Structure 1
Amino acid sequence: MAAAMEMLQKLQKEITCDICTSYFCDPVTIECGHSFCQACLSLIWRVRTTNFSCPECRQVPQIREFPAVNGCLAKLTEVCKELSCQLLQSSEGQHQCASHKKILKLFCEDDQTAVCVRCSQSPEHGAHMLSPVEEAAHRCREKLQHILSQVAKTVEEAETLLAKEERPDVDWHWIINAEYYKLQEFLLEEEFRCLKRIGQEQRTTQEKISQHMQRLQRLIEDLQEAGHKSNVEMLQDVKQLLGRSKSLLLQRDKAVTPEMREYAIPVMIEMLSQFRVDITIDPKSACSYVTVSDDLKSIKAEEGWQVDTEDPENSSYYSLLADQAFSSGRQYWEVDVSQLPQWILGVYTPYLRRKRGRNVDSCASVFLLRCVKKEDDYYLQTCPESLNHRVKCPVPRVGVYLEYKTGTLVFFNVCQGSLIYSFQSLPFIAPITPIFCPGPPLPGTKSGPMTLCPANFPCACS
């Protein structure tokens, strides 16, 4: 028996494919004399589109045609497989139970193990389902054959899919490239229209200011002329002069302070939303004049916050910090300020690189956007001061975009999809913490909360 098994092993080596290490399936023999499964060689040569060499000896065939199935080798493989099954069946009688030294004739379906007759009568296997070894082996071989056919079918499907991917029916690369090109053209057209509109509005504003200056100049001339008139003549004209003077002086703030223009940037808010972060308030930064909600998402000014009515510009500000700080990457968050007439948003950093001559030092800095109400008008201002614009109506929701590496801080009017202001090239060298201030409140009024919008909040205002 041992000699037969040894001969079988040598024969098995001759009918085994070196690619899949299994018995040949439709074997083919190439010029160098080596044989492989037809499917295995086809797959290897399909992958190596430029070098159709032998997978074993690397010799390149002179004839590039795919070889036909070797019928003799296929028959030899079937005979060897049958002989192998017979030898395995005859050798099963040599396998004995370790406990009773009896031949393993039964198979326990519950424990999935071969047992002898005495083991089957023991309490351990008494209630289990048992079957002859031959029957169990036959069922197992059928299952394995079924699985083998499924795997082979899956391989064929994968090969078909791979071929489609190599030669796709739809050129997605070209389609996507074309769509992005359209988007670029659309944005360039929008940019051109926006810049053209800015130029037109600048010229209109310049004309209004020039006209206002002309009226002021004429008023100055009339006032100087009135000073040289007789008492009676001056008193006759004084009512009209005083009325003109009062009217022009009332127009001073609106004439001198530019109006914030709304220039919507298409899809900008949607693009920034991919960088949205969920921010909460640091409760340790709160004070008695400002309260924080239990979910750390809203802050509100309390009645104890007193505002100097004579000089509201210099009233105390009580700012709170976020519980998060950022020292890399891009972040975007939104704040609902629709219930506040006055507010402050921005960022704080404990260190900021500053150049003084040849030396470089660092200091703490804040960069803020502030909304201030004066009479019936609202003004947006920045700190450091460079923006001071009047707005037609309050901004209900503000988006803040921070890009640490480039030192960029941008404020957006979310509902209009327009830019408010942008700080560029800020020399950040330390973590950046968002700042929030729900005030100062207007005297005699009760303000609502300032709310930090969650990261999954809708992009557009409802």
Structure 2
Amino acid sequence: MAAVLEKLQEFQREITCSICRSYFSEPVTVWCGHSFCRACLSQSWTLGATAFSCPECRQVSPVRKFPGVNGLLAQLTDMGKELCFLHLQSAEGQSHCGRHRKVFKLFCEDDHAPLCVGCSQSPEHGAHKLSPVEEAAQKSRKKLQHIRSDLQKRFDEAEELLAQEERLVDDWNWVIAGAYTKLHQFLREEESQCLERIVEEERASQDSLSQHRQALQDLMLVLQEAGHQPNMDLLQEVKQLLGRSESVLSQRAKVVSPELREYPIPGMIKMLRRFRVDITLNPTSDNPFVTVSEDLKSVKAAEGWQVETKHDSDDFVYHYVFAEQAFSSGRQYWEVDVTQLPQWTLGIHTPFLRKRRGRNVDSSPPVFLLCCVKKEEDYYLQTYPGSLNHRIKVRVPRVGIYLEYTPGTLAFYNVLQRSLIYRFYPIPFTDPITPIFCPGPPLPGSKAGPMTGLLELPDEDDASAAAPDNYEHEDTA
């Protein structure tokens, strides 16, 4: 019996990773012949020096290529785990130490190994933390239960994100198809390619979320089953379960709020500039919170507009400036430079809207707005009214606004990216429409810059070259 146990222990050493001291998980064998868990080797190399070296013998790899999984060693590891499991199920192996023939009463939390009293007195475990088996098992169950609860929250979040992504497929098809309608005689091929790209990106996003949700569900089932295992079985698997749980949780979907996707529409900005108008600001809009320039082309937050504390965007007070122009027919397009403003609002004001059959417009707002707000380290574009509330990779430096009185369209564009941000349609206009501007609210302690209307606009092909030098502008205190 002792000889069999010795052979089994030797076999265990052969299928044990020298880094984590556990059975191999996705074993990989490096050039010198030593083997490690794939995750352990990856972490060792990530944290190491510039050259890849073996964590055991320190030989430097001749190539910087990560080895593939050793399938044969993985099979041997599974066989070894099964043999050890069968040994633990035997009368001698299940609850008795093979060396001292005594009952396992303690559990070493450093080595994750059961010990008898004799083993616990050896110098090998002298400085280790030892706990009674029952106490260690209870502690492990609590950890797994906590992880399972967290997994349920992540699973619910993944469900909601997946549902949101499914809704975005139809939304973006409608938005982009509507934008391309204006150029359908010239851009049929581009329109088709763009719509295909939307479907592919949404499908890829859905697939990623589905895989993440499935991983959460699978792990929850595994943890649920583990909670009902006998103490010794649980303790044998707890380290692997904790490692797997940490790996799955680290893959949590990053996009809690959707990111605004950019779909450039070739020729759109150039076409819209055919309808550009000269917008000047109404000097009577000047007040203690905003200041209009002498040439009536720009506006900035005045020193009287102080934001002492950080609030949610819904709590901010907005101070608007109206344009001198009002439009009651035709098509108009104007652009605004917001490079130096971390937060701003652009839009239109209309006193009344006509009633439209089949829809309740009595409660429709007198303004239609696009807002840029900063929340912690991220920037968001929001519409009021409307459903847009999306993060953006880089702040939009120049916004184009297109207004069509009939059938009632208001659209916002990222000029430099030549992409649509959002479109209100249809709006039942009845009265003259006035553009409005808001250069804030300013961030606490920041130096406010101007919001400037642009009259002389470059050609679309020169848009990238016309980007301001401080396009990646950082807020200055």
- 1:404-454 deviations in whole A, cap 9, x for unaligned? 011011111111111111111111111111121112222232232111111
**What's 2:323 paired with?**
322
CA contact (8 A) 1:354 1:362 kept: no
**What's 1:291 paired with?**
291
Query: Secondary structure in 2 aligned to 1:441?
Result: coil
Query: Secondary structure in 1 aligned to 2:422?
Result: strand
Cα separation, 2, equivalents of 1:382 and 1:271: 24
- 1:271-310 deviations in whole A, cap 9, x for unaligned? 1111100101212223312221111111112343215415
**What's 1:9 paired with?**
none
CA contact (8 A) 1:342 1:438 kept: yes
**AA matched with 1:437:** C
**What's 2:386 paired with?**
385
**What's 1:399 paired with?**
400
Structure 1 position 340 matched with structure 2 position 355: no
Structure 1 position 191 matched with structure 2 position 200: no
- 1:40-98 deviations in whole A, cap 9, x for unaligned? xxxxxxxxxxxxxxxxxxxxxxxxxxxxxxxxxxxxxxxxxxxxxxxxxxxxxxxxxxx
**AA matched with 2:349:** Y
Q: How far is the alpha carbon of 1:333 from its aligned partner?
A: 0.2
Cα separation, 1, equivalents of 2:239 and 2:288: 60
**AA matched with 1:332:** Y
Task: Name the CA shift for 1:309/1:188 in 2 (closer, same or farther; >3 Å).
Answer: same
Q: What are the residue-to-residue correspondences of 1:180-259 with 2, within 5 Å?
A: 187-218=187-218, 220-221=220-221, 247=250, 251=253, 254-259=254-259
CA contact (8 A) 1:399 1:412 kept: yes
Larger radius of gyration: 1
CA contact (8 A) 1:209 1:255 kept: no
CA contact (8 A) 2:347 2:367 kept: yes
Task: Name the CA shift for 1:310/1:409 in 2 (closer, same or farther; >3 Å).
Answer: closer
Choose 281-290 or 328-337, whichever is displaced more: 281-290
Task: Name the CA shift for 1:333/1:352 in 2 (closer, same or farther; >3 Å).
Answer: same
Structure 1 position 274 matched with structure 2 position 274: yes
**AA matched with 1:272:** L
Q: What are the residue-to-residue correspondences of 1:116-135 with 2, within 5 Å?
A: none
Q: What are the residue-to-residue correspondences of 1:3-14 with 2, within 5 Å?
A: none
CA contact (8 A) 2:219 2:245 kept: no
Task: Name the CA shift for 1:320/1:184 in 2 (closer, same or farther; >3 Å).
Answer: closer
**AA matched with 1:331:** Q
Task: Name the CA shift for 1:184/1:356 in 2 (closer, same or farther; >3 Å).
Answer: closer
Query: Secondary structure in 2 aligned to 1:409?
Result: strand
Query: Secondary structure in 2 aligned to 1:405?
Result: coil
Query: Secondary structure in 2 aligned to 1:281?
Result: coil
**What's 2:445 paired with?**
444
Cα separation, 2, equivalents of 1:358 and 1:423: 15
Cα separation, 2, equivalents of 1:184 and 1:432: 28
Cα separation, 2, equivalents of 1:407 and 1:332: 14
Task: Name the CA shift for 1:344/1:241 in 2 (closer, same or farther; >3 Å).
Answer: farther
- 1:184-223 deviations in whole A, cap 9, x for unaligned? 7751111121111111111111112223323443565567
Structure 2, unmatched stretches of 5+, are 1-182, 467-477
CA contact (8 A) 2:353 2:361 kept: no
Cα separation, 2, equivalents of 1:399 and 1:379: 17
Task: Name the CA shift for 1:289/1:226 in 2 (closer, same or farther; >3 Å).
Answer: farther
**What's 1:102 paired with?**
none
Task: Name the CA shift for 1:184/1:236 in 2 (closer, same or farther; >3 Å).
Answer: closer
Query: Secondary structure in 2 aligned to 1:328?
Result: coil
**What's 1:300 paired with?**
300
Q: How far is the alpha carbon of 1:385 from its aligned partner?
A: 2.7
Query: Secondary structure in 1 aligned to 2:317?
Result: coil
Task: Name the CA shift for 1:217/1:353 in 2 (closer, same or farther; >3 Å).
Answer: farther
Cα separation, 1, equivalents of 2:225 and 2:443: 44
Q: What are the residue-to-residue correspondences of 1:164-179 with 2, within 5 Å?
A: none
Structure 1 position 371 matched with structure 2 position 392: no
Structure 1 position 265 matched with structure 2 position 265: yes
Please report the TM-score for the alignment, with normalisation by the length of structure 2. 0.51
Task: Name the CA shift for 1:361/1:237 in 2 (closer, same or farther; >3 Å).
Answer: same
**AA matched with 2:332:** Q
Cα separation, 1, equivalents of 2:439 and 2:225: 51
**AA matched with 1:316:** V
CA contact (8 A) 1:260 1:389 kept: yes
Choose 326-335 or 354-363, whichever is displaced more: 354-363
Query: Secondary structure in 2 aligned to 1:353?
Result: coil
Cα separation, 2, equivalents of 1:239 and 1:358: 55
Task: Name the CA shift for 1:222/1:366 in 2 (closer, same or farther; >3 Å).
Answer: farther
Indicate the RMSD between aligned Cα atoms, in angstroms: 3.3
- 1:234-259 deviations in whole A, cap 9, x for unaligned? 9978976895687466x4xx423222
**AA matched with 1:274:** R
Structure 1, unmatched stretches of 5+, are 1-182
Cα separation, 2, equivalents of 1:241 and 1:235: 10
Task: Name the CA shift for 1:360/1:255 in 2 (closer, same or farther; >3 Å).
Answer: closer
Q: How far is the alpha carbon of 1:458 from its aligned partner?
A: 5.1
CA contact (8 A) 1:307 1:315 kept: no
CA contact (8 A) 1:408 1:425 kept: yes
Task: Name the CA shift for 1:358/1:219 in 2 (closer, same or farther; >3 Å).
Answer: closer
Q: How far is the alpha carbon of 1:335 from its aligned partner?
A: 0.5
Cα separation, 2, equivalents of 1:440 and 1:243: 41
CA contact (8 A) 2:301 2:440 kept: yes
**What's 1:349 paired with?**
350
How many residues are paired up?
277
Query: Secondary structure in 2 aligned to 1:210?
Result: helix
Would you identify which runs of 4 or more consecutive aligned residues in structure 1 move more than 4 Å?
A: 183-186, 218-249, 355-364, 455-459
Cα separation, 2, equivalents of 1:397 and 1:361: 33
Cα separation, 2, equivalents of 1:287 and 1:237: 65
Please report the TM-score for the alignment, with normalisation by the length of structure 1. 0.53
